[in-house]
Amino acid sequence: MKLHRTLILASSLPFPSFSGFDLRVWQIVRALSALGPVGVFGICSNDPRAADPPPGVAVWRTSTDPALAYPPPSDQKVAARAWLFDPLGHPWDLLHSETATREIEALIREFRPTAFVAEGLSLHRYLPAMREHDFQLVLDCHNVETLVARELATSGFGTGLSAKLTRDVLPPRVAEIEKRATQNVDQLWVCSEADADDMRAEHGTQTPIHVVPNAIDVSRFASVRELRKARAHSPKGPQVFYPGMYRYEPNAIAAEYLIEEIFPRLLAKYPHAVLKLVGAWPTESMLAAAKREPQIRVAGAVPDIRPHFADADALVVPVLQGGGTRLKVLEAFAAMLPVVSTPKGVEGLDVVDGKQFLAAADPEAFVERAIELWSDPLLAANLSEAGFETVRRYYSWDSIGRCIEAAMLKPASPEGSG
């Protein structure tokens, strides 16, 4: 088998993983490492993870450009407002710099990759320069961003500039950016067959598309499963749980929906219920809600998400926007934690309402399904068993490794798509 040398470009280094984005990038690093040396270059120049390279990675590096720090320097934010006047401009432009491009070019000469994977459309500005090299160029599409932009536009509120940009400016720009990017690479990787169909329908791309599902290290949740089996659950005060990186707008919207619409109805039925929101960059309104209501807990970023899966009685996923597939749902399945979700929240996963999860389309339905779950231990056990079997069989690191190996071994031609 041909030895591959793969360079991965990401907005930040993916390990330790603090978000679903990180988890997907890290699973791809792991899978590609089985095919040959892997290097990772992170755009964020002040990423503290750069100081501790994980074993098995040949290169672990970030840009040195101070303009690419997070949060961006104030002068950089002012300069970046020029994106408004560029027909292909987007706030993603904060991730691009000529300094970083030169650093990537130098790393290519040093590392000599046979394949280059750009993690997400937000890095599209780097693709033209990468296209000049003699390697297989892959765009890993975490979402079909055109559809995400449209969904956010229809859910937007307010009359300010930010709301107007979300509704009127960004959707057509994202569509054009994504169309051009999909035509500028040798392969597209997507999270599900549904995303592959949407990509073809939206952009008519002839670029080979390979389904590389989101996956997790199922074995990492073995201790959580044991804790959950031993834990006594009290129907008096169930704990519902939603993890996310709240800088990502669909997660912030889902958290607001939980706080404003679902949890008050749940409290009316279960006065001692607890809502726990865990993850980096909680919004000001989330923090304010936790101050008003002590049974709303906002944990922020945590070094290990698994104890929160062990403590919860249900993962509640009121997601209405977004793309790809939800890693939080796969983690719940691996933890044998029952899931109540909108259809959108499990989109792209091979699951059925009533078998691996309970579906809910509105706040009243979320409460009804939660009551159903907590009043029927056999139902909860059956959902947990079926969810675990699904993630073990279809969404484990072993299964994803086979998908990536197949994609890398296929020629860059329409015959190689699938």
CA 66 to chain centroid, in Å, comes to 26
Q: Are residues 200 and 321 in the same domain?
A: no
Q: What three-state secondary structure class fits 132? A: coil
Q: Are residues 372 and 269 in the same domain?
A: yes
Q: Is residue 209 within 8 Å of 215, Cβ to Cβ?
A: no
pLDDT of 140 reads: 97
Q: Are residues 242 and 154 in the same domain?
A: no
- Give 166 or 285, the one with higher predicted confidence: 285
Q: Is residue 324 within 8 Å of 352, Cβ to Cβ?
A: no
384 in a domain, yes or no?
yes
Instruction: Report whether pLDDT(193) > 50.
Output: yes
Q: Which two tokens stand for residue 80?
A: 């970046």
Mean pLDDT within 399-409: 86
* Residue keyed to tokens 């937007």: 156
120 in a domain, yes or no?
yes
The length of the chain, given as a count of residues: 418
Instruction: Report whether pLDDT(47) > 50.
Output: yes
C-alpha to C-alpha distance for 346 and 329, rounded to whole angstroms: 7
Lowest mean pLDDT among 46-60, 95-109, 313-327: 313-327
Residues 6+ apart with CB under 8 A from 44: 11, 12, 13, 62, 63, 68, 69, 70
Residue 138, phi then psi, degrees to nearest 5? -120, 135
Instruction: Report whether pLDDT(24) > 90.
Output: yes
C-alpha to C-alpha distance for 46 and 31, rounded to whole angstroms: 26
Averaged pLDDT score across all residues of the chain: 90
Q: What letters, b where the CB count within 10 A reaches 16 and e where it falls short, cover 292-317?
A: eeebbebeeeeeebbebbbbbbbbbb
Q: What letters, b where the CB count within 10 A reaches 16 and e where it falls short, cover 112-133?
A: ebbbbbbbbbbbbbbbeebeee
Give the model's confidence band at 235: pLDDT under 50 very low, under 70 low, under 90 confident, else very high: low
pLDDT of 95 reads: 94
C-alpha to C-alpha distance for 154 and 213, rounded to whole angstroms: 27
Could you tell me the CATH number of the domain that includes residue 308?
Answer: 3.40.50.2000
Residues 6+ apart with CB under 8 A from 78: none
Residue 389, CA atoms < 13 Å, CB-side half-sphere:
10
C-alpha to C-alpha distance for 326 and 192, rounded to whole angstroms: 11
Q: pLDDT tens for residues 344-367? A: 999 889 999 999 999 999 999 999
Residue 368 is classified by DSSP as H
Q: Are residues 299 and 368 in the same domain?
A: yes
Give the model's confidence band at 30: pLDDT under 50 very low, under 70 low, under 90 confident, else very high: very high
19 in a domain, yes or no?
yes
For the chain, count helices (H), then strands (E). Answer: 17, 13
Instruction: Report whether pLDDT(265) > 70.
Output: yes
Q: Are residues 279 and 248 in the same domain?
A: yes
216's torsion region: left (phi>0), alpha (psi -120 to 50) or beta?
beta
Instruction: Report whether pLDDT(260) > 60.
Output: yes
Q: What three-state secondary structure class fits 230? A: helix
Q: Is residue 27 within 8 Å of 20, Cβ to Cβ?
A: no
Instruction: Report whether pLDDT(397) > 60.
Output: yes
Residue 239 is classified by DSSP as E
Mean pLDDT within 254-276: 95
154 in a domain, yes or no?
yes
- Give 144 or 166, the one with higher predicted confidence: 144
- Give 1 or 116, the one with higher predicted confidence: 116
Q: Are residues 207 and 224 in the same domain?
A: no
83 in a domain, yes or no?
yes
Q: What is the helix (H) or strand (E) element at residue 210, kind and residue range?
A: strand 209-211
Mean pLDDT within 189-209: 95
Q: pLDDT tens for residues 282-305? A: 999 999 999 999 999 999 889 899
Handedness of CA 118, 124, 130, 131 (dihedral sign): positive
pLDDT of 234 reads: 54
Give the model's confidence band at 73: pLDDT under 50 very low, under 70 low, under 90 confident, else very high: confident
Instruction: Report whether pLDDT(318) > 90.
Output: yes
Q: What three-state secondary structure class fits 339? A: strand
268 in a domain, yes or no?
yes
C-alpha to C-alpha distance for 302 and 324, rounded to whole angstroms: 24
Instruction: Report whether pLDDT(198) > 50.
Output: yes
Q: Are residues 265 and 347 in the same domain?
A: yes
If one counts the domains in the chain, the total is 2
Q: Are residues 210 and 88 in the same domain?
A: yes
Q: Are residues 10 and 132 in the same domain?
A: yes
Give the model's confidence band at 3: pLDDT under 50 very low, under 70 low, under 90 confident, else very high: confident
Instruction: Report whether pLDDT(76) > 70.
Output: no
pLDDT of 19 reads: 85
Q: Are residues 171 and 205 in the same domain?
A: yes
Q: Are residues 233 and 195 in the same domain?
A: no
Residue 399, phi then psi, degrees to nearest 5? -70, -35
Q: pLDDT tens for residues 78-87? A: 566 788 889 9
Q: Per-residue DSSP letters for 135-181?
A: SEEEEE-SS-HHHHHHHHHHH---SSHHHHIIIIIHHHHHHHHHHHH
Instruction: Report whether pLDDT(200) > 80.
Output: yes
Nearest in space to 383 (alpha carbons), one of 352, 413, 411, 409 = 352
Q: Are residues 409 and 293 in the same domain?
A: no
Q: Which two tokens stand for residue 414?
A: 């329409």
1 in a domain, yes or no?
no
Nearest in space to 418 (alpha carbons), one of 395, 185, 406, 115 = 406
313 in a domain, yes or no?
yes
pLDDT of 416 reads: 39
C-alpha to C-alpha distance for 121 and 273, rounded to whole angstroms: 39
What range does the domain containing 59 cover?
A: 6-215+397-416
